[in-house]
Amino acid sequence: MPIPCIEYSNITKSYGDKTILDGLSLRITANITTAIVGASGSGKSTLIQLANGLIIPERGQVSVFGSAINSQNITDNRLAIGYSVQGAGLFPHMSVYENITLMATLQRWSEQDTELRFHALMQLLELDQELRDRYPFSLSGGQQQRVSLCRAMMLNPPLLLLDEPFSALDPVTRDSIHREFLKLQHAETRSMVLVTHDMFEAIKLAQEIIVMCDGRIEQQGSVAEIQNNPASDYVQALFEAGGQ
């Protein structure tokens, strides 16, 4: 059996007296885009944060590409993961160039390698090179999200985690970003996990879908399986909530 990009084994995670995940086990396929879909509070973002080592479970084990996350390897694991969140999360006091190349600077990349990767990413995400010295406040929402994706991809990580990165964008900008995301899938093969509350965004951008409800896996399968055979009224309701 191929090694998954992320594997959760009997995970339990609580916040205070509220249990979010209770004995959850899940394998996420490598080298494709997987969307995790569900209502607010279903545990979607918790899964992403566990994979990035931002939070730790009370019980169970999380592995990334077959390597169990622990205190000794968490830094190395994070270097293999790109992370982009809702609202871009850019550093306001840094220019576009500084934001995108931050991890390369910390990893002491050469100036030449940094410049080459920066220009390649700007071109890939259709960002004008003249934005290089601009600051986040002067960018549109769509430009900020593109810069955030560039930053997440700077080290060319094999795994990209995206926590509702497009949800704050207006419909026109979101559609434009979706087109860039699909182009990105073809340009650089990698494992991508997209958290979204929008089933139609998941169908558009992913090859596999995981539907979560109250901390459990409601359904997991290919886009065609989820789209054509919703496993429950809850999955069906996610379609209807999208208004399509």
**How many other CB atoms are there within 10 angstroms of residue 18's CB atom?**
8
d(CA 124, CA 217): 34
What pTM does this model have? Answer: 0.87
For residue 131, the 8-state DSSP code is: G
Sequence letter at residue 100: I
State yes or no: pLDDT of 87 exceeds 80.
Answer: no
Q: Per this entry, what is the length of the chain? A: 244
Q: What pLDDT was estimated at residue 243?
A: 44
Per-residue pLDDT tens over the stretch 69-86: 987 778 787 888 888 876
d(CA 168, CA 170): 7
User: Helices in 52-170 by DSSP H: which ranges?
Assistant: 74-79, 96-100, 102-106, 111-124, 141-153
Residue pair 114/104 in contact by the 8 Å Cβ criterion: yes
d(CA 235, CA 38): 9
Distances (CA, A) of 25 to 8, 97, 136: 5, 40, 39
The stretch 107-126 carries a mean pLDDT of 92
Q: Which residue ranges make up each domain of the chain?
A: 1-80+159-244, 92-156
Question: Which H or E run includes 226?
Answer: helix 223-228
Any idea which residue has 């069906």 for tokens? 236
Reported as a pLDDT band with limits 50, 70 and 90, residue 221 is very high
Roughly how many angstroms between the first and final C-alpha of the chain, as a whole number? Answer: 37
State yes or no: pLDDT of 145 exceeds 60.
Answer: yes
Reported as a pLDDT band with limits 50, 70 and 90, residue 50 is very high
Distances (CA, A) of 185 to 21, 68, 167, 188, 193: 30, 26, 19, 6, 12
Report the range of poorest mean pLDDT among 140-149, 163-172, 203-212: 163-172
Residue pair 151/102 in contact by the 8 Å Cβ criterion: yes
Per-residue pLDDT tens over the stretch 146-201: 898 889 889 888 999 998 877 777 788 788 888 888 888 887 778 999 999 888 88
Ramachandran bin of 41, using left for φ above 0, alpha for ψ from -120 to 50, beta for the remaining angles: left
* Mean model confidence pLDDT for the chain: 88
Number of H helices and E strands in the chain, helices first, is 10, 10
**Contacts (Cβ under 8 Å, ≥6 apart) of 62:** 6, 7, 8, 9, 11, 50, 51, 68, 69
Tell which CATH classification among 3.10.20.30, 3.40.50.300, 3.40.630.30, 3.40.50.10490 matches the domain 1-80+159-244. 3.40.50.300
d(CA 238, CA 240): 5
